[in-house]
Copies of this chain bind each other. A is one copy, B any other.
Amino acid sequence: MRIEQKLASLGLVLPPELPAKPGVSTPPHWVRVRRGIVYLSGQSARNADGTPAGPFGKVPSEVSIEDARVAAKGCALALLATLKREVGDLDRVSAWLSVTAMVNADPGFPATSAVTNGFSGFILELFGDEIGHHARVSPGMAALPGNAAVVIGATVEIDGGA
């Protein structure tokens, strides 16, 4: 419960799941756990009631870099919420492996990494360098689900990959 105590000491709360969409039969399979590896679907920041928090739109013309950076941290909280629901205790995470950090970007926007550092810096702060560091791709996308400014997916090892 070390990680969750750290979250609490930072005043951070993990958001609940996104409510099911009426009329969509495909269940939101956010996560797959297999042989010590957790595959997490791309997620955007969520409000305290589980709904998409935004910001929505293009970085930087519609959403500022700073707001997008906060959204990237919100993606981390959303992924952690899913991870906790799935594996029970976030302390089971033994290594972040790879991160797909996607920014809803204006064409040619060169600072997508500045945005997604909001995610990576937070994960490092929370898990420490040894467990938290990860490989990352950080492209700017033409579009993202729900027009979210930032969506992030990840692959994480638990229990030493046992």
Contacts and interface: CB of A to CB of B under 8 A. Distances in A.
B107 A26 contact: no
Contacts of A103: 143
A128 interface: no
Contacts of A142: 105-109, 139-142
A39 B145 contact: no
Prevailing SS type, chain A contact patch? mixed
Interface residues of A, number: 58
Contact of A135 (B24, B32, B57): B32
A129 B25 CA distance: 12
A28 to B, nearest CB: 9
A139 B135 contact: no
A23 to B, nearest CB: 11
Interface of A: 24-27, 29-32, 34-35, 39-42, 57-58, 95-98, 100, 102-113, 117, 120-121, 124, 129, 133-147, 151, 153, 155, 157, 161
Given A35-B161, A110-B144, 12 more contacts: A27-B133, A29-B134, A29-B135, A31-B135, A32-B97, A34-B157, A42-B138, A102-B137, A108-B142, A108-B143, A113-B146, A140-B143
